[in-house]
Amino acid sequence: MQLLGPEAADRLYDAMGSARETSGGSAANTMAGIAAMGGRAAFVGQVAADQLGSIFAHDIRALGVQFDTAPLQSELPTGRCLILVTPDAQRTMNTCPGASHQLRPDALDEALIRSAPLLMLEGYLFGPELPRQTLFHAVEIARSAGNRVAFTLSESVCIAGRREGFQAMIDRGGIDLLFANEEEAVQLTGAADLDGAVRALQLKVPTLVLTRGAAGALALENGARTDVPAVPVQQVVDTTGAGDLFAAGFLAARCKGHGIERQLMTGGIAAAEVISHFGARPIADLAELVRL
């Protein structure tokens, strides 16, 4: 993943092949997945008052996710990500954050955040100063209401320049539940391997969830480690959204009171669905897949 300015994004887009447009965004994908599995979810994030912003708002509301953040009124367009996917399902993400990185602390709906037992934050907004302050403010609101806070590392690039700030947030107990994939966890901790990263992180967060692609996933909670295998996929088409949907399945099962193994398995089912087609939002009926 790399961040691009508007001009570089236009240049890349001109050189790209024809494409398909779908709504995305890490936390938005997770909320979409939770709603698709019958959970209640709201999304806080900022689009612009343009066609792509309208499409984003339509799609997430159509899934039953509450989305009330007002569009940004400025020259900045709705954020977009130009994603190039190879035939073997590897992807390059070129993100032009646009309005999304202008999310201000005063755009937060305090009553909404207080009403949610769990607040989920995405690492993509942890890089730039303004949205990071907004994340911190959201955590304050959630904490003051006694709610839990989950955080997904998103991409290591978002944390790279902010490792100290992020470690500080973890160290002061700001995160109850941390999602990361293997590479992100290793990079964040500077460990030599997965086990090293697990040792470094497991004491810092009450619940640690690590995804490992085809190697499955694991959780550390209450001092116990639970591993699950990956859900088999006929053909991996595009891994975009795998982590987001894993988090969706995990959280949907968790909020229903299921045990940690079932939380991990449900995450794997949702991730398997989203990597079997292009786009980072589920197409198949996730609730039905989980039931089966």
The residues that touch a copy of itself, with contacts defined as CB under 8 A, are 13-14, 16-23, 32, 50-52, 55, 58-60, 62-63, 77, 279, 281
Q: Give pairs for 59-64: CB < 8 Å, separation 24+.
A: 59/22, 59/23, 59/32, 59/281, 60/23, 60/28, 60/31, 60/32, 63/32, 63/35, 63/36, 64/35
Phi, then psi, of 229 in degrees rounded to 5: -75, 165
Nearer to a copy of itself by C-beta: 14 or 164?
14
Residue 280 CB, nearest approach to a copy of itself (Å): 11
As a whole number of Å, the CA-based R_g of the chain is 18
Residue 159 CB, nearest approach to a copy of itself (Å): 30
Residue 63 CB, nearest approach to a copy of itself (Å): 5
> Computed from CA positions of residues 123, 128, 129, 130, in that sequence, does the dihedral angle turn out positive or negative?
negative
Nearer to a copy of itself by C-beta: 136 or 278?
278
Assess contact for 156 and 186: CB atoms under 8 A. no
d(CA 65, CA 45) in angstroms, rounded, equals 12
d(CA 157, CA 142) in angstroms, rounded, equals 26
216 half-sphere exposure, CB direction, 13 A CA radius: 10
Residue 216 CB, nearest approach to a copy of itself (Å): 29
Nearer to a copy of itself by C-beta: 20 or 172?
20
Nearer to a copy of itself by C-beta: 62 or 168?
62
196: tokens are 């090293």
Nearer to a copy of itself by C-beta: 22 or 167?
22
Nearer to a copy of itself by C-beta: 142 or 270?
270
Assess contact for 70 and 107: CB atoms under 8 A. yes
Residue 55 CB, nearest approach to a copy of itself (Å): 6
Residue 241 CB, nearest approach to a copy of itself (Å): 13
